[in-house]
Amino acid sequence: MCGIVGYVGMRNAPDVLLEGLKRLEYRGYDSAGLAVKSDGRLEVIKEVGKVADLARLVEERQLEGCQGIGHTRWATHGGVSVDNAHPHCDDCGNFVLVHNGIIENYLDLREELEAAGVTFTSETDTEVIVQLLARLYQKDMLDALVKLTEKLRGSYALAIMNREIDGTFYCLRKGSPLILGIGDGEGFCASDVPALLPYTRQVVYLEEGEIAAVSRDGIQVWASDGQRVEKSISTIDWEVSMTEKAAYPHYMLKEIHEQGAVLRTTLKGRVENGKVDLSPELAWDKKLVESWRKLHIVACGTSYYAALVAERVLEKWTDLEVKVDIASEYRYRHLRADTETLAVFVSQSGETADTLAACRLARSQGAHCLAVTNVRGSTLAREVHDVLLLKAGPEIGVAATKTFMGQIAALYLFALYLGRMRETLSAAEGNRLLEEMLRLPYKVEVTLEREDSVRALAEKYADRKDFLFLGRGMSFPVALEGALKLKEISYVHAEAYAAGEMKHGPIALLEAAVPVMVIIPRDGLYEKTLSNIQEAKARKAPILAVATDGDELISRHANDVLRVPWTDEEMTPFLTVVPLQLFAYHMARLRECEIDQPRNLAKSVTVE
């Protein structure tokens, strides 16, 4: 949540900050602001709305300077208003800062400060930080920042400027991501890689509690106690072109259409001589792999649904006791990971606060922790024993699509690898499944070519207010994901149920106005799902089916059918999810919704 960017160098800072904020807008977009240092003055501009609204204001005011910080907000403490937008200043105008995270003890600190005569101008937890910093500062910035970290409880990524200090801005990081960028005679900070890509690919990842000073000459980093820390520089392997929309009207549509390529990249280099080989990434010996009895998979949102898909193959291809949970639940349950547990954390961003907390818990209980993430160097990636990268490239649309595809692909490779290592999956079956996986990129592309039929279906149902999504077995998590996509971007109410559960409640909602989207590929549960279709039809609900090519029977029972190519039962989610993503996209487009930045959502949820 909340995007942060900072710059110092020779360029015009407002231009760099606005470009960075545009690239971070998926983190939050209810208000935005920036502060620029010029001629010893700190100039602050804030605006409610999108970064484009802020850009207009910056142009009007002709703001210039070579050093600044910027922010795009997703409101937590305090409503959406110019006063609550960042940057925030202390009451004497000596310090200015932007913040991502939540200060848990802000009410106590605010009371103390108010008792000392400080007047607040916003309702945010952030203003407390800057007012406190101004009181702690005794002409030594490092000393003040060390004292500040001692006083703050909660999570924060901060970029700070001091009116007295030219050519340097300061950063702090605890529980919220912050990356420093190194250019030629210039320095940057950002909460996410895409903001830095147009300028540099040389980065330094700040660790928990670290404090940094960024100047034209480079970067200095200290631990939270003020001890100097030597940092290594990493090179980002994403290209700036990966973050552009190309000829597509929306990032989401571009990302949906990239899914065949995502599958190819995920498979590339991980299949050798007809076998899955993850040994370069997961240096596990047989003894370690055989020491596990339990497998916990933990995630949020779409990543959780990807985990539910994987659960079904992991329990089939391995003998592990598999348990999948939502991170915000897992962290407060008593599931008990132990040294016989492999705990897998699935997160596109690698920054989701609940997933990180769940990971820390499982690790403290002795579990071997694996991250399945799209972001190299993310907090999650740095806190686990092993990482399996998605290689989906940057995803900008707030609604996850191609990373869902990348997640299930990576988790399937992992399941095949584990099944073979534990000898619970025969070589013949493993080879057969892998051969079908290798055909999936093509089959996904065939499915994408049928977009027109999905658009036509959306046109027919665009005015409906409620949908029910049904699926069984492998198709149940797909139904959940399809309903989530529809809710997220078109604001149409959609519920997903395991088809067999429909009779236990949701059937009461059915009538002619409520379409039922049934995911019914040709699989072992086909006839069971067909019976559920009859039950829904008997209540006059229109039936929309996602079904397999050549299945003629379904045309007699459903009002409308979207087709996918045939594949093995286990592989059906790779194909059946595609028409559902496209359906949500076209529904949202017809309903004139903001597709890439749906209301109230943020791409990475870095607060609990």
- Which positions are catalytic? 2, 603
Instruction: Count residues near ligand G6P (CB under 6 A).
Output: 16
Characterize 429-451 residue by residue with b for buried, 16 or more Cβ atoms within 10 angstroms of its Cβ, and e for exposed. Answer: ebbebbeebeebbebbbbbbebb
Say how many CA atoms lie within 13 Å of 511 toward its Cβ.
6
CA distance 469 to 481: 9
Nearest to 318 by CA among 434, 428, 419, 411: 419
**What H or E segment, with its residue span, contains residue 189?**
strand 187-190
DSSP per-residue string spanning 341-390: EEEEEEESSS--HHHHHHHHHHHHTT-EEEEEES-TT-HHHHHSSEEEE-
| 596 CA to centre of own chain | 13
133 binds ligand G6P (CB under 6 A): no
567 binds ligand G6P (CB under 6 A): no
Smallest gap from residue 407 Cβ to ligand G6P (A): 8
CB 153 within 8 A of CB 103: yes
Q: Which residues pair with 343 in a beta bridge?
A: 296, 369
CB 496 within 8 A of CB 479: yes
From 156-164, 382-390, 517-525, 600-608, give the range in contact with ligand G6P by CB under 6 A: 600-608
Tokens (6 digits) for 599: 């209301």
Say how many CA atoms lie within 13 Å of 408 toward its Cβ.
33
Pairing of strands 341-347, 368-373: parallel
Smallest gap from residue 219 Cβ to ligand G6P (A): 27
State the alpha helices, DSSP H only, in 492-571.
526-537, 553-557
CB 396 within 8 A of CB 248: no
Options 13, 103, 161, 605; binder of ligand G6P; rule CB under 6 A: 605
x/- binding map, residues 277-316, to ligand G6P, per CB under 6 A? -----------------------xxxx-------------
x/- binding map, residues 389-408, to ligand G6P, per CB under 6 A? ---------xxx--------
In degrees rounded to 5, what are phi and psi of residue 530?
-60, -40
In degrees rounded to 5, what are phi and psi of residue 155?
-120, 145
Options 72, 124, 155, 604; binder of ligand G6P; rule CB under 6 A: 604
Question: CB-wise, 191 or 303, nearer to ligand G6P?
Answer: 303
601 binds ligand G6P (CB under 6 A): yes
CA distance 53 to 47: 7
Smallest gap from residue 220 Cβ to ligand G6P (A): 31
What residues numbered 323-352 form the site for ligand G6P, per CB under 6 A?
347-349, 352
Residue nearest to ligand G6P (CB): 301
Amino acid at 350: G
Smallest gap from residue 562 Cβ to ligand G6P (A): 23
What residues numbered 199-218 form the site for ligand G6P, per CB under 6 A?
none
Smallest gap from residue 26 Cβ to ligand G6P (A): 9
Smallest gap from residue 404 Cβ to ligand G6P (A): 8
Smallest gap from residue 357 Cβ to ligand G6P (A): 12
Options 113, 603, 606, 607; binder of ligand G6P; rule CB under 6 A: 603
Question: CB-wise, 367 or 398, nearer to ligand G6P?
Answer: 398
Smallest gap from residue 216 Cβ to ligand G6P (A): 33
x/- binding map, residues 354-383, to ligand G6P, per CB under 6 A? -x----------------------------
DSSP per-residue string spanning 380-415: HHHHSSEEEE-------SSS--HHHHHHHHHHHHHH
Nearest to 597 by CA among 26, 4, 18: 26
Smallest gap from residue 303 Cβ to ligand G6P (A): 4
Tokens (6 digits) for 122: 């916003």
Question: CB-wise, 160 or 252, nearer to ligand G6P?
Answer: 252
Residue matched to tokens 């607060």: 607
Question: CB-wise, 355 or 572, nearer to ligand G6P?
Answer: 355
Question: CB-wise, 224 or 302, nearer to ligand G6P?
Answer: 302
Interface residues with ligand G6P (CB under 6 A) are 300-303, 347-349, 352, 355, 398-400, 601, 603-605
